[in-house]
Amino acid sequence: MPSAYGGPSSHVGASQPASVVILGQQLEKFCGSFEMAKTIVPGLAKNATFIITVAPMLAHKGPWYQDDLTDFFSEVTQRDLLWELTGLRDFKKVEVHGHVSPDVATELKGLMMLEKWNDPHRIIKLMRESKDRGAQLYREGRLMEAFSTWGTSMHEIDRMREGTSWAKLIKIGGEPWIDQMAELQCSLGLNSAQVNIMKWGPDSKNESIPRAIRQSYKNLTLACLETSAKCIEPGHWKEGYTWVCPTMLQAKILYRRAVCIRTWGDRLQAVYALELIRGAISLVPNDPVVRKEAEAIVMWAGGM
């Protein structure tokens, strides 16, 4: 039953240690949550010290007649308990204490400090396969499975960019590799946003859906579009470098933001929706889908 401590000082401005006691059966959920936290808190793995204490109760001696469980925590049991933690990578500093063999502790520490990604070409291959798999699910009407597939890859790229191996990946792959990663991430965000728009339905009149749920769909859609928009920001991928986004993808970002405003009936942003859709038309003036949406927004805005 390990306990972990971490202080993401770069996020909060000062070291803020936190500790948890976890049962072995809960480690899988903990690791999944921590991976998500690495996306939300930039630099978490690079700045946190991860301290693991195995079987902390054995440090306190009980009565002579009480079984202290020392024999239970064999090396085999230690490896079984700590296995889930081996999937957490890119930590700058890891410490392993408690009732644990030196070999298990050294192996676990080495794995957790190992770079998760080291081959830029394999990364592109895997991410493209994930994008294509999501597209197939989307075509089959399995929208939430498509969203999950695209969302997982989107978050993985975010974690990768914050990981310790990012500088090395850039050095190996160069700016052409950055361009491929940026285009993939931008597309993943746009695709994920499209799923949410489709789930809600751009022309849906189903008012029976609770407001809180409608709002959560909207926030999720906007977050996906923000991921796409960030790809274009100067220095996002590499200091001093700005990805040149293809015209079609730029238009899709503007178009889907406008659709989002109309879909969720945000009247206060009607003028902004008009500006967005006009921007999309200026980029792809002959696109019939964009022009149709422009007409819908004009009618919606005019009905206020």
Distance CA 185, CA 154 (A): 6
Residue in the block written with tokens 């964009």: 290
pLDDT of residue 139: 95
234 CB neighbour count, 10 Å cutoff:
11
Name the E strands within 55-111.
93-98
pLDDT of residue 190: 97
pLDDT single digits (tens) 16-50: 677 778 887 888 888 878 877 776 676 676 777 88
Distance CA 97, CA 53 (A): 5
Distance CA 166, CA 185 (A): 15
In the chain, domain spans: 3-112, 116-241, 246-304
Residue 7 has pLDDT above 60, yes or no: no
Name the E strands within the chain.
3-5, 19-21, 49-54, 93-98
- What average pLDDT does the chain have? 84
Distance CA 101, CA 80 (A): 13
Tokens describing residue 22 = 């976890």
pLDDT of residue 67: 63
pLDDT single digits (tens) 258-287: 999 998 888 889 999 999 999 999 999 999
pLDDT single digits (tens) 187-225: 999 999 999 888 775 445 556 677 777 788 888 999 999
The alpha carbon of 214 is separated from its chain's Cα centroid by a whole number of angstroms, namely 22
